[in-house]
Structure 1
Amino acid sequence: MRTQDTREDIYQTRRTNDVERIARRDEVVHADGRRRPPICPSLINEFEQNGFVVLEDVFSPAEVARMKGTANEMRDYPSSLADSTVISERDSGAVRSVFSIHRQTADFDMVARDPRLSDVARYILGDDVYIHQSRLNYKPAFKGKEFYWHSDFETWHAEDGMPNMSALSMSVMLTDNHPQAGPVMFVPGSHKTFISCIGETPDNNYKSSLKRQLTGIPDAQSIETLVDEGGIVAPAPKAGSVVVFDCNTLHASNGNITPFERMNAFFVFNAWSNRLERPFAGKRPRPEHIAHRKVDAPMRRLSEIQRKVA
């Protein structure tokens, strides 16, 4: 007999066949207002209001070239990577994603620790941080598939056991983005509403959902309502830019039938106080390479590592 889960769950999902829109109960920006932000305050305000913000020209062309070279090697030599970390497209077999990139290469470990990313995460989340998930996303020319509308937090809460909305994603552009090549679309303001999803979590759902998500997607009426309220914005920044978005921001991307490849390195920062518990709507946690649980301490700053090496 399954023991009843008595934890308080303010974002219940996948429990009933009724859709519920739940007002956000967590702050968007957790920072102490007396601290000086590491980026322009207007960008922090934009993030708080819209649920996402674009930081232009964060990384230099030389830095992007190094990251892109590493990303190409990981895609071209998948047998050199840890088992199960490479996800292919469901039809073409092209590499769609590589997970746990900061644990598999020193290059991406340094990028995750870079203060241009991690200090922004620490400020917005108002806490020490660690990497909940990292991956490379490839949307190859002509055959890159779509990602349907979803909130990352819904999956992280249901399947990983992330308690609250104290996480954010940073997507580092490794190629110039083009409006026609399936850039990520965001619904401004959607991060302030949690949409519960219907249907129980299937066993080992991650094996299919990483190729095409069918469980944990919002209903069409809720998507339409949020789009009516906030619209749709599809930033197409150039290589070296970073898109920062809240864990609950509704987003999606179309397929890529253009000749333009799209590639990004993706890092999820979670507040140290928001570490994973048992899944709230799943039978067992997803594997470690998808949702990191074996983390003994908050992320050390890059400057601390460099001093130790010196």
Structure 2
Amino acid sequence: MTTMTTTAMTGSATDLYPSRGDTEVSVPRRDPVVWSAPGAPGPITSGDLAAYERDGFLPVEQLIGPDEVSVYHAELERLIADPAVRADERSIVEPKSQEIRSVFEVHRISEVFARLVRDERVVGRARQILGSDVYVHQSRINVKPGFGASGFYWHSDFETWHAEDGLPRMRTVSVSIALTENLATNGGLMIMPGSHRTFLGCAGATPEDNYKRSLQMQDAGTPSDEALTAFADLHGIRLFTGAAGSATWFDCNCMHGSGDNITPYPRSNVFLVFNSVENEAVEPFSAPVRRPEFIGARDFTPVR
């Protein structure tokens, strides 16, 4: 792994975080983690905001209540059972089981999930972290049924969103809201605390239409075993568990992943990505074409 401190130019935008070149590179983060001014109003306490800045993530024991969980879980089940949704390009199907793995852009195809995006407990935290109005860069439901649902390999979301969607800066935050219990055994989210402070630029060019393969099984944008070992040795690994209704907020550059679910117990969540309206996507920095808008939004309308 090579340390790189220079920048490159892509079109009219300066590339602060080069990736997908001949070699893997390590670049110190050049952006704030928390963009709002100290003491800015919002639902996150100053202590929790400091922990988020330090670790790159913030667990919330109960973001939504049991009655709300029932509503959102029922909507998830409705969507994955709908033949029209399954046939839509927004749905990603497991290669082996042929079951739905993810459905994208759920805040556009479901008013139930659109209301969740607008909920102040959700969008208010995103505004507070990013210090501005925000729009939805991506939304999806993830479904991990028991007995063999595959995981998501280690990666930084920002590496992909920068390389393939054209997000210039690290001014994006994600929240994973559990709609089933997250156990230590059913393929839960793992994050390397503090890894958000270093950008790992992956080696290898981005194939055209890479998203069609990467959403089922990642290849381009995957760190090397050596880099992941060094990150894990330095930062450790945190596994998130919690009841349905719990949530994990995490920075766009956290190194994270999840394992397969070989237990009988399903793990499902709704995943929302908020980007600052001051960090609109430009052309991709390291890909021949943009990904579809249902994966990387080009509508920058603020959430109201």
Residue 274 of structure 1 aligns to a residue whose secondary structure is coil
Whether 1:145 aligns to 2:145 is: no
Q: Residue 9 of structure 1 is aligned with which of 10, 15, 37?
A: 15
RMSD over aligned Cα atoms: 1.4
Query: Conserved in 2, the CA contact under 8 Å of 1:153 and 1:247?
Result: yes
Q: Residue 298 of structure 1 is aligned with which of 275, 298, 302?
A: 302
In 2: Cα distance, 1:132 partner to 1:201 partner: 20
TM-score by length of 1: 0.93
AA aligned to 1:206 is Y
Whether 1:278 aligns to 2:275 is: no
Query: Conserved in 1, the CA contact under 8 Å of 2:148 and 2:260?
Result: yes
Q: For structure 1, which segment, 48-57 or 35-44, has the greater mean C-alpha deviation from structure 2 after superposition? A: 35-44
Alpha-carbon distance, 1:6 to partner: 5.2
* Equivalences for residues 220-235 of structure 1 within 5 A: 220-235=225-240
Query: Conserved in 1, the CA contact under 8 Å of 2:86 and 2:100?
Result: no
Post-superposition CA distance 1:36-94 (Å, at most 9, x none):
34122221111111111111111111000000000001111141467201101111101
AA aligned to 1:13 is S
Give the match for residue 5 of structure 2: none
In 2: Cα distance, 1:10 partner to 1:172 partner: 31
Q: Which runs of 5+ in 2 are unaligned?
A: 1-8
Q: Residue 110 of structure 1 is aligned with which of 115, 140, 145?
A: 115
In 1: Cα distance, 2:119 partner to 2:48 partner: 19
Q: For structure 1, which segment, 152-161 or 213-222, has the greater mean C-alpha deviation from structure 2 after superposition? A: 213-222
Q: Residue 127 of structure 2 is aligned with which of 122, 131, 142?
A: 122
Post-superposition CA distance 1:230-269 (Å, at most 9, x none):
1000011110111100000000111000000000001000
Label 1:79 to 1:214 Cα distance change in 2 as closer, same or farther (>3 A): same
Give the match for residue 303 of structure 1: none
Q: Residue 68 of structure 2 is aligned with which of 59, 63, 70?
A: 63
Query: Conserved in 1, the CA contact under 8 Å of 2:85 and 2:91?
Result: no
Following superposition, which runs of at least 4 residues in structure 1 exceed 6 angstroms of deviation?
Answer: none
Alpha-carbon distance, 1:4 to partner: 7.0
AA aligned to 2:147 is F
Whether 1:171 aligns to 2:176 is: yes
Label 1:25 to 1:231 Cα distance change in 2 as closer, same or farther (>3 A): same
Q: Which has the higher strand share?
A: 2
Q: Residue 243 of structure 1 is aligned with which of 240, 243, 248?
A: 248
Give the match for residue 79 of structure 1: 84
Give the match for residue 3 of structure 2: none
Q: For structure 1, which segment, 30-39 or 155-164, has the greater mean C-alpha deviation from structure 2 after superposition? A: 30-39
Q: Residue 216 of structure 2 is aligned with which of 211, 218, 221?
A: 211
Query: Conserved in 2, the CA contact under 8 Å of 1:186 and 1:251?
Result: yes
How many equivalent residue pairs?
A: 296
Residue 8 of structure 1 aligns to a residue whose secondary structure is strand
Query: Conserved in 2, the CA contact under 8 Å of 1:67 and 1:174?
Result: yes
Label 1:92 to 1:80 Cα distance change in 2 as closer, same or farther (>3 A): closer
Q: For structure 1, which segment, 218-227 or 57-66, has the greater mean C-alpha deviation from structure 2 after superposition? A: 218-227
Whether 1:154 aligns to 2:162 is: no
TM-score by length of 2: 0.95
Alpha-carbon distance, 1:5 to partner: 3.4
Residue 53 of structure 2 aligns to a residue whose secondary structure is helix
In 2: Cα distance, 1:41 partner to 1:78 partner: 46
Q: Residue 187 of structure 2 is aligned with which of 178, 182, 207?
A: 182
Query: Conserved in 2, the CA contact under 8 Å of 1:149 and 1:218?
Result: yes
Alpha-carbon distance, 1:20 to partner: 1.2
Matched residues, percent identical? 42
Residue 22 of structure 1 aligns to a residue whose secondary structure is strand
